[in-house]
Amino acid sequence: MSTETKEKEILRGGQFLVKETACEDVFTLEDLSEEQRMMRDSTVEFVDRELWAHWERFEQKDYEYTKTCMQKAGEMGFLSISVPEAYGGMGMGFVDTMLVCDYISGATGSFSTAFGAHTGIGTMPITLYGTEEQKTKYVPKLASGEWFGAYCLTEPGAGSDANSGKTKAVLTDDGKHYLISGQKMWISNAGFCNLFIVFARIGDDKNITGFIVENDPENGISLGDEEKKLGIHSSSTRQVFFNETKVPVENMLSERGNGFKIAMNALNVGRIKLAAACLEAQRRVTDEAVTYAKERVQFKTPIINFGAIKAKIATMATNAYVGEAACYRAAKNIQDRIELRVAAGNSHQEAELKGVEEYAIECSILKVAVSEDVQETTDEGIQIFGGMGFSADTPMESAWRDARIARIYEGTNEINRMLSVGMLVKKAMKGHVDLLGPATAVGEELMGIPSFDTPDFSELFSEEKDLIKRLKKVFLMVAGKAVQTFGPDLEEHQQLLMAASDILIQIYMAESAVLRAEKNAKKLGEAAQQTQIAMARLNLYEATDIVIRKGKEAIVSFAEGDEQRMMLMGLKRFTKYTNTPNVVALREMIADSVAEAGGYTFD
């Protein structure tokens, strides 16, 4: 297959909105190779033995134990999955990286944060932007777990506005060093790391610059106390103070003023990995909740037999299923795009950067969606456990607290919502995604007379796929009109951007779930995939509800009179079911199936 042909087949970032995807073209967890399954099993075994069995220690602020587990993870090779072989790593693909990140993160947020901070933002900026010397010097140690990394971007006055940091880097008179001074906060792994990726401003540069700084207390580096946090109790989180810390000029990462770009690209990868890192917690919490609900007897009946509990179990399982579908779909797109670029002659470094950047919209979507799903799932987990769920003696309580941070770090969900739409609009303006054509077509459709034919929805998912196509029209209608109305000032209308983003998120997630269930049903037969089909249907129903609510909210915020009425009519038409699914029955069916299997067992 020529590179050119293959390129046509891989959906570009953001194109899901205007192009149809065949179910055969999405990658799902069911497609894992035997080797990948073995990797997953090893990861789960490691977590069960080293992390899950000792979850209380993570609640008791045992930072040393987190470090010990990280060292063990290094021995197992988990820290080096995505590191190129030339620097002591495994050089595995993006899907493999996501897989390990996913399954290693389910037992405790403390470890998953330490793992993510080290392998993602602590190591990756060097593998992606480092010089040959930097990579040779630092990456093998980071890949083996001999050294640990931390990422110093946030400052007291620079959180979401990351480029506004006040940390300074001043060149020494002999031109051989920079002296870095400033205060960084919320630094994960600070307490035990050997190396910091530090962002500082040189002179009055518009943009910050990245540096690799070895952790040496003798070199003007001091740490604040461990922060007292709501969750992730054993993730070391401290302030880091740099006082004229001497850093050789050769430790500058990439070029002067390139720091913001490094920071943002590191976060793109971090976002999709964070989404993956929120999946296994959902599976485990669902499993625990199912076990408890089967054993807990009230009114002489195990509570799992009650419809109110079944609805929760169904939601929890569906959240995990949808999250998996979307995460691995995007991961494979990224991997394919990287391979394509390597085949076209790009260095691996460049290919990986561009490959992930291409799907920055999807990365933001996933970060928001899956971090909110894990919150809901852990919350319902507590509810199923009742009073016991509120007790710190059961793992539900800590799971709920640990989940909360996922909506904040790697860019808050609000920032990511705005980014997802903002980046899409930018892509459209650059001509990378043709939104204008489809948006115009939707506008024309609104003016026309709707078809009154009864469509044939006898084929599996034909109605759902038709509905998703129409949900996309809702987004094009709302976003198209918003861009037309506000132009570059759109970014000032944050509530509108949030609503548009919610529609976008629902479309991507719902489509991914439907494609996954369709692919598996075609492969293994509809009868064997009834639960997957039900979960895809339930999710789409709920997604459609959100689209209706957010669409309405957006439309009335900027359209008036006839135009508003026409758009609201369009919204109704685009979100209409011919055969409204019986979601009560779907939830019952999903919950019964999950209960029968003893937990979440889809893959």
Partner 1 sequence: MKILVCISNVPDTTSKINFTADNTAFDTTGVQFVINPNDEFGLTRAMWLKEKQGATLHVATVGTAAVEPTMRKALAIGADEAIRINAEPTDGLFTARQLAEVVKNGGYDLVIAGRESIDYNGGMVPGMLAAMLDWNFVNTCIGLEIDGDKATAVREIDGGKETLETKLPLIIGGQKGLVEESDLRIPNMRGIMMARQKTLTVMDPVDMEPGTRDTQYEKPAPKGDVKLVDPGNLDQLIDLLHKEAKAI
Q: What are phi and psi of 234, to 5 degrees?
A: -105, 15
C-beta of 39 vs 425, nearer to partner 1: 39
Q: How far is the CB of 539 from partner 1 (least distance, A)?
A: 23
Tokens coding 102: 């996913």
Q: How far is the CB of 76 from partner 1 (least distance, A)?
A: 5
Q: How far is the CB of 100 from partner 1 (least distance, A)?
A: 8
Amino acid at 283: R
C-beta of 24 vs 35, nearer to partner 1: 35
C-beta of 32 vs 499, nearer to partner 1: 32
Q: How far is the CB of 421 from partner 1 (least distance, A)?
A: 38
Beta-strand pair 149-152/195-202 = parallel
Phi-psi domain of 143 (left: phi exceeds 0; alpha: psi -120 through 50; beta: other): alpha
For the chain, helix (H) and strand (E) counts, in that order, are 22, 10
C-beta of 55 vs 390, nearer to partner 1: 55
Question: What gap in Å lies between CA 382 and CA 295, rounded to an integer?
Answer: 15
Stated as kind and residue range, the H or E segment containing 301 is strand 301-302
Q: How far is the CB of 519 from partner 1 (least distance, A)?
A: 19
Residue 459, judged by CB atoms within 10 A of its CB (0-12, 13-18, 19+), counts as exposed
Identified catalytic residue from 59, 155, 410, 518: 410
Contact 371, 405 (CB under 8 A): no
C-beta of 250 vs 596, nearer to partner 1: 596
Please give the torsion angle defined by the CA atoms of residues 275, 279, 282 and 285, in that order, rounded to the nearest 10 degrees: -120
C-beta of 17 vs 83, nearer to partner 1: 83
Question: What gap in Å lies between CA 146 and CA 150, rounded to an integer?
Answer: 14
Q: How far is the CB of 46 from partner 1 (least distance, A)?
A: 6
Site residues for partner 1 per CB under 8 A? 34-35, 37-39, 41-42, 45-46, 49, 75-78, 80-81, 90, 92, 100, 601
What are the angstrom distances between the C-alpha of 223 and each of 114, 181, 250? 17, 13, 25
Q: How far is the CB of 107 from partner 1 (least distance, A)?
A: 15
Residue 257, judged by CB atoms within 10 A of its CB (0-12, 13-18, 19+), counts as middle
C-beta of 144 vs 207, nearer to partner 1: 144
User: What does DSSP assign to residue 12?
Assistant: P
Q: Tally Cβ neighbours within 10 Å of residue 163.
A: 16
380 as an active site residue: the answer is no
What are the angstrom distances between the C-alpha of 73 and each of 59, 127, 328, 406? 20, 19, 23, 22
Question: What gap in Å lies between CA 130 and CA 280, rounded to an integer?
Answer: 32
C-beta of 228 vs 300, nearer to partner 1: 300
Beta strands in 208-257 (DSSP E): 209-214, 221-223, 237-248, 252-253
Tell me the β-bridge partners of 187.
238
Stated as kind and residue range, the H or E segment containing 472 is helix 462-486
C-beta of 41 vs 64, nearer to partner 1: 41
Three-class SS state of 593: helix
Instruction: Write the CB contacts of 148 (distance below 8 Å, at least 6 apart in sequence).
Output: 67, 70, 118, 122, 142, 189, 192, 193, 194, 195
Q: How far is the CB of 92 from partner 1 (least distance, A)?
A: 8
What are the angstrom distances between the C-alpha of 69 and each of 14, 140, 215, 424, 578? 38, 19, 21, 40, 53
Q: Which residues are known to be catalytic?
A: 410
